[in-house]
Amino acid sequence: MAAEAELDLVEISAATDPPVARIMDYGKFKYQENRKAREVRKKQTTGGLKEVKFRPNIDTHDYRFKMKHARGFLEERCKVKATVVFRGRQLVYQDQGRRLLDKLSEDLADLAQIEKEPVMEGKFLSMILAPVKEKKSKPQNAEE
């Protein structure tokens, strides 16, 4: 029957008694399977880690510029590592660095949540912000 229809006879389940076979175009079947796998990979989020570096005495314009970059990364569903870099005697101003990171987390509160609180590691004060999980809204029915 498969030869008459110019299709392939494909064994689906060899473990059953009698074995199950199906008449199909095997090339088309493999192509569709490949397409489905590609769609699944396309919809996956990579969620990489991007870093934005600040200095403790950063100007307001520079802060806003870097905050916009962090906002863009979060909209792309990437985590953001915000780091304040201290040089030399700037280590005295760790409180400024903490205030800066607190301000950043407040400014990005609509898109991000704090995954790792600010921690001092050598001459770097860093925290990690993760994108907020989107809540699925229920579709509105016209009958309600």
Report the alpha-carbon distance of residue 54 to residue 97 in Å, rounded.
9
Judge if 53 and 118 occupy the same domain.
Answer: yes
Task: Indicate the pTM of the whole model.
Answer: 0.62
- What amino acid is encoded at 31 in this protein? Y
Q: What is the DSSP string of 2-22?
A: TTTTT-EEEEEESSSSSPEEE
* % of the chain exceeding 70 in pLDDT: 90
- What amino acid is encoded at 122 in this protein? G
pLDDT category of residue 138 using cuts at 50, 70 and 90 = low
pLDDT category of residue 144 using cuts at 50, 70 and 90 = very low
Q: Quick one: 127 exposed, middle or buried, by C-beta within 10 A (0-12, 13-18, 19+)?
A: buried
Judge if 95 and 29 occupy the same domain.
Answer: no
Judge if 101 and 55 occupy the same domain.
Answer: yes
Give me 106's structure tokens: 């407040």
Instruction: Tell me the per-residue pLDDT of 33-44, one tens digit each, with 9 for 90 and over.
Output: 999 999 888 877
Residue 138, helix vs strand vs coil = coil
Give me 121's structure tokens: 């590691």
Query: Beta 79-85 vs 49-54: how paired, if at all?
Result: parallel
Report the alpha-carbon distance of residue 44 to residue 53 in Å, rounded.
28
* Domain boundaries, position 62: 49-131
In a domain, residue 80? The reply is: yes
Judge if 55 and 86 occupy the same domain.
Answer: yes
In a domain, residue 137? The reply is: no
In a domain, residue 124? The reply is: yes
Q: Cβ distance 104 to 70 under 8 Å?
A: yes
Judge if 59 and 105 occupy the same domain.
Answer: yes
pLDDT at 137 over 80: no
Q: Per mean pLDDT, which of 20-29, 42-51, 57-66 is the most reliable? A: 57-66
